[in-house]
Structure 1
Amino acid sequence: MAAAHRETGTRGEDIPPGKPMSVEQTVMDKGAQMLQSLKPVKQMSQHVCSFALYSHDMTRQIETHHYVARINQDFCQSAVYDTDDSTGRLIGVEYIVSDGIFETLPPEEQKLWHSHAYEIKSGLWVHPRVPEMVVKPELENLAKTYGKCWCTWQLDRGDRLPLGPPALMMSPQPVNLGMVKPGLIQKRDDKYNISSEALKTARAEIAEPEWINPQADYWKQHGKGFTIDVEPTEMKKRAPFP
């Protein structure tokens, strides 16, 4: 499935093709928003800004904005956007599990997940505008977790629409191949008036996990990423009636 490639221009040029919102559509949306519960969306209680690298090409690195809903103490799910602006585009999804749950996964499944310890302790993972002392307990918990993140819209290559199959994303790691470009970090830090280096120093006392399962961050041990191919397949033409 071929994807369109072009240089990314102004924000107006990056939005999907289509007509401007009509007055009728705006009224409909506002009315529905007032009348419907939108309960799953309202469970999103945290905004996290971090960075992700494509599993199949770690020279491609993007800033990500995660809107997190915690289902319980061991499981989170998040919608991933390209920005925290009102024009933010939904570019993927990430699931986060505790180390206890991760250890129950089959080895082949574990290969698709990444650890969060370095991302937390290095100051790359931030909760914008929330004081560190408030989020410290959450950071200590997250440092022991694993995530599986799929990118469904590859904006960094200029796609104005979500094209092709999803791409598996990985977390930054303390090796040359998996480190985030300084310019990308600086741009983010300037936006939120923070210092990733200062956060790294402040988080030095956050405990490292006693053990990070080597099946996670699979590329670090084996130098191989994962991609999804789209293949035609025979479909089931009949389904039992409920």
Structure 2
Amino acid sequence: MDCVEGNNFFKKSMASSDEKPGSTPVMGPGPTLPGKATTLGSKLVDTGAQMLQSVKPVKQMNMHACTFALYGHDLSRQIETHHFIQRVNQDFLQCAVYDSDQPSARLIGIEYIVSDNIFETLPPEEQKLWHSHAYEIKTGLWTLPGMPELLQDPEHKSLTKTYGKFWCTWQVDRGDQLPLGAPSLMMSPQAVDIARVNPELVKERNSRYGVSAGDAKESRVEMDEPEWINPNADYWKQHGKGFAIDVVQVEMEGTGALI
């Protein structure tokens, strides 16, 4: 989808495929976020809310997975991701995705995960936005930090037969200090040279968590995969084409003439 012709702002800074945004807010060196320090009054509100409110949806996120994701329009851009997962039912998971598991972590996107049974009910055009998980799971790239591999086993056996749709809303890898532009569709690693995760990224992650991807891969080699991975998923593998969103101006419905 193209942007409005002649509108350089939209063309240069609102496409999810832009390597650099048109204008990045800068408020000091490094990854420091723009904005003032949190005031005492705001901290008191936060403390009161923590004591008096239940935040029930957030409390349903009871599992942490660490893995890697690739930008769908540029597979050379690869990031480590931390999924905080809510199991809605046995066939559907929803995940808040962060760039780390630290208190200062930035919320960079969302991923929805469905079983192969649900995926097969989706329209073909929708299926093209999803990626398969079998390779990611069986090679040990996806892990549940802090959990022994034996305890992870049942979850991984289930996940090998799932598909995910992951929208990245904050491209921290390109230096954005705020969530800018349109969301980017992300892909999972695959057994294709251009979609293999940089070994240094994996090595650093594994060292940090005391994980052995080799041992995990060996222990998962017998896990069942889908008998058939739908070719509409991982669409780029068959067609060499990714997807990117451009923000466009449209006529608003139901507003009448505002000007």
- Interval containing the TM-score (normalised by the shorter chain): over 0.9
Once residues 233 and 15 of structure 1 are traced to their aligned partners in structure 2, the CA distance between those partners, rounded to angstroms, is: 35
Corresponding residue for 2:46? 29
Alpha-carbon distance in 1 for matches of 2:33, 2:87: 30
TM-superposed CA distance for 1:67, in Å, is 0.2
Q: Which runs of 5 or more residues in structure 2 are unaligned?
A: 1-9, 14-20
**Aligned equivalents of 1:131 and 1:195: distance in 2?**
11
Task: Check if 1:194 corresponds to 2:211.
Answer: yes
**Which amino acid in the other structure matches residue 170 of structure 1?**
M
Q: Which runs of 4+ in 1 moved over 4 A?
A: none
Asked whether 1:165 is paired with 2:191, we answer no
Aligned equivalent of 2:125, options 81, 103, 108: 108
Q: TM-score, normalised by structure 1?
A: 0.94
What are the ranges of 5 or more consecutive residues in structure 1 without an aligned counterpart?
Answer: none
Aligned to 1:77: 94
Report deviation, 1:231: 0.4
Q: TM-score, normalised by structure 2?
A: 0.88
**C-alpha distance in 2 between matches for 1:226 and 1:15:** 30
Corresponding residue number in structure 2 for 1:16: 33
Partner of 1:55 in structure 2?
Answer: 72
Q: Secondary structure at the match of 1:26?
A: helix
2:244 alignment partner in structure 1: 227
- 1:179-221 residue CA offsets vs partner (Å, 9 max, x unmatched): 0000100110011011111111111121122111111000011
CA distance in 1, matches of 2:79, 2:23: 16
SS at match of 1:126: coil
SS of 1:45's equivalent in the other structure is: strand
Residues 55 and 226, structure 1, Cα contact 8 Å, conserved in 2 = yes
Secondary structure of 1:149's counterpart equals: strand
Shift of 1:237: 3.6
Alignment partners' CA distance in 1, 2:236 and 2:252? 33
Partner of 2:18: none
Which residue identity is paired with 2:147?
V
TM-superposed CA distance for 1:4, in Å, is: 5.5
Aligned residue for 2:3? none
**Separation (CA, whole Å) in 2 of partners of 1:49 and 1:72:** 21
Distance 2:233 2:159 in 1: 15
- AA partner of residue 186 (structure 1): K
Work out the percentage of aligned pairs sharing the same amino acid. 60
Post-superposition CA distance 1:101-151 (Å, at most 9, x none)? 000000000000000000000000000001111121110000000000000
2:65 partner amino acid: V
Alpha-carbon distance in structure 1 between the residues aligned to 2:23 and 2:216: 36
- Give the aligned residue type for 2:78: Q
